[in-house]
C-alpha cells in the first residue's frame, strides 16, 4: 500500500531514480493506493548516467502508475505474489508513459486497463 510521503523506485528509463508520493488519487480522503492505481509524485533523485540527457528534472511533479508493491497481491485465480520494492512508472499529463522502455514485468490487470501502451514497452507480464 502506497500513501503520502512514501519513497518509490522508478522502473523506466525516464532518468528518475527515486520519487516521493505527494498525493494519492482516486477518492475523497483516500489514504492508500494499490497496484494499478495512479498517484502524483515529485522527483527526488536522478540516475547518475542520465543527469545531462534526462527527460525529467529534480523537483518536478508527475503522475505515476504503481507497478510493484511490497504488499501481497492476491489474484482472482487464488495465486498470490509479493515484490521486494515499491515501484512506479512516470506518466505524462495525457496518461501516456514518459519513457520508452520499462524494466521488469507488469501485471496482467495493468495491461487490460487504460494503460495499454505499457504492455508494448514492458519486458514481460506477470
Query: Which cell is 61 given?
Result: 511533479
What is the rounded CA–CA span in Å between residue 112 and residue 14? Answer: 23
Residue 59 has pLDDT above 80, yes or no: yes
- With beta carbons less than 8 A apart as the criterion, state whether 90 and 97 touch: yes
Instruction: Give me the chain's average pLDDT, please.
Output: 87
Quote the pLDDT of residue 62: 96
Say how far apart CA 98 and CA 96 lie, in whole Å. 6
Instruction: Provide the pLDDT for residue 35.
Output: 86
Higher-confidence residue: 69 or 109?
69
* Average pLDDT for 72-83: 85
Over residues 76-94, the mean pLDDT reads: 89
Mean pLDDT value of segment 11-29: 91
Q: Is the pLDDT score of 89 beyond 70?
A: yes
- Asked if residues 54 and 16 have their Cβ atoms less than 8 Å apart, the reply is yes
Taking residues 101-121, what's their average pLDDT? 77
Q: What is the pLDDT of residue 117?
A: 79
CA 108 to chain centre: 15
Domains of the chain (ranges; CATH) run 7-101 (2.40.150.20)
Amino acid at each position: 500500500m502506497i500513501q503520502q510521503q512514501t519513497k518509490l523506485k522508478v522502473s523506466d528509463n525516464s532518468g528518475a531514480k527515486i520519487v516521493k508520493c505527494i498525493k494519492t488519487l482516486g477518492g475523497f480522503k483516500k489514504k492508500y493506493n494499490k497496484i494499478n492505481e495512479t498517484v502524483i509524485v515529485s522527483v527526488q533523485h536522478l540516475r547518475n548516467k542520465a543527469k545531462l540527457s534526462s527527460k525529467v528534472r529534480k523537483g518536478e511533479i508527475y503522475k505515476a502508475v504503481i507497478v510493484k508493491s511490497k504488499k501481497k497481491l492476491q489474484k482472482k485465480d487464488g495465486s498470490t505474489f509479493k515484490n521486494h520494492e515499491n515501484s512506479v512508472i512516470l506518466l505524462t499529463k495525457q496518461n501516456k508513459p514518459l519513457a520508452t522502455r520499462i524494466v521488469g514485468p507488469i501485471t496482467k490487470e495493468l495491461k487490460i486497463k487504460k494503460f495499454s501502451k505499457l504492455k508494448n514497452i514492458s519486458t514481460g507480464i506477470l
